[in-house]
Amino acid sequence: MTMKSTDAVADQLIEKLANRTATIGIFGMGYVGQPLALRYAQLGYKVIGFDIDQQKVDLLNGGQSDIEHISDEAIAEANASGMESTVDISRTPEADALILCVPTPLNKYREPDLSFVVDTTDSFVPYLRAGQVVSLESTTYPGTTEEELLPRITSGGLKIGREIFLVYSPEREDPGNANFTTNTIPKVVGGHTPICLEVGEALYGQAIDRIVPVTSTKAAEMTKLLENIHRAVNIGLVNEMKIVADRMGIDIFEVIDAAATKPFGFTAYYPGPGLGGHCIPIDPFYLTWKAREYGLHTRFIELSGEINRAMPEYVVGKLVKALNERRKALHGSKVLVLGIAYKKNVDDMRESPSVEVMELLRDNGAEVAYSDPHVPVFPKMREHKFDLASVALTPENIAGFDAVVLATDHAKFDYEMIRAHAQVIIDSRGVYRTAAENVVKA
């Protein structure tokens, strides 16, 4: 139970948030920002979506979505309800809430890159006013909100917890998961002060069905990391088990399915060609980096990271072996990669292990193509470049490749047709459970 505010500025802001007369500013209109903006617009709030990409802003203002699982109709409806997008940071004072949903990648040394968070904050700091709440949703290391945002938002003299309010509330979006929507996923919220927390609860309380308050921004930051480290470590474990099982002639997917029948004490995780998405491959290293400041070495996290990062090479090694058995070399072979999004049934390419597989194939002289019904043209990416478009899956096309690598198991693929016509399939997702001469489990 949080304390009740007696501060006039906080009371006024809480009232505006509660009666939905507040204006919500979302910074970063991507996979996290867009669903949140749509939710607030749906509830009748005025929403301003800030983004540095003018092309994206124009698209959104024109009622068009750039994310597959968000429809044009949803964007158009939100616009009609009072949502607009802009690149004009000087409109910051119009918003009562400033929610940061910007990327937090790793640099080439696998250290946190907070440039998007810091640059965004620096850009709106000159426009801050009393009666605003700033909420960081980007995944980061414990202490970021206090160490990076706090000194910036108070640099103009605004008093934290009295005139301006600071919270951390980690995003929990799961693109493509029809079982959960923005409002049904419980929202963890931590405030810099008890009154900051109260304002944070008011900010999210209307939009999200269940709010989970914690005692500090650090606790909220650590909560998000624990969620993702839990997945990363368990996926690393099952990827290692896959290699052991393969050497022993055991189907790891059969074993996992059998173990999953235990009604307690076991959660099924499935192996793959590596980790993908913006969270699981990246977030654990935020904690390993910060832990060094305290003289700690996070061995579990780093070991699982090593195993998961090695999976694309493991898949390519399986392909090399399969080609050798057919008297072919990888160099010069035509290889089709099935699925390049990081997980099934989405168009999200962030940190996709499929791309690493494609780069390993290309670097070793293979002629690489891909097919993905969710990604018609290979997108512009910060660290990866392919000038390719998705190949149509026809019996003739499939038969024309020396090998097919099943990297992402989209539901739209016709797996029986693929198996009937492929010369060899490297199955990294366990789609083909029955033995076949042209299927190699990877």
Express each pLDDT in 240-256 by its tens digit. 999 999 999 999 999 99
Per the structure block, which two tokens stand in for 124?
A: 């709106």
Q: For helices 72-80 and 33-42, give the axis angle rounded to 10 degrees.
A: 50
Confidence (pLDDT) at 279: 66
Per the structure block, which two tokens stand in for 93?
A: 């004072």
Global pTM? 0.89
The catalytic position among 279, 393, 403, 405 is: 279
Supply the DSSP symbol for 430. Answer: -
Confidence (pLDDT) at 1: 40
Domains of the chain from N-terminus onward: 8-215 (3.40.50.720), 254-441 (3.40.50.720)
The answer to whether 279 is a known catalytic residue is yes
Tens digit of pLDDT for each residue in 158-195?
Answer: 999 999 999 999 999 777 777 888 899 999 999 999 99
Q: Give CA–CA dist 65/112, Å, rounded.
A: 30
Name residues whose C-beta falls within 8 Å of residue 95's C-beta, 6 or more positions apart in sequence.
Answer: 23, 24, 25, 48, 132
Q: Which residues of the chain have pLDDT under 70?
A: 1-6, 277-281
Q: Give CA–CA dist 283/277, Å, rounded.
A: 10
Residue 214, H or E segment? strand 211-214
Confidence (pLDDT) at 3: 47
Per the structure block, which two tokens stand in for 193?
A: 């002060």
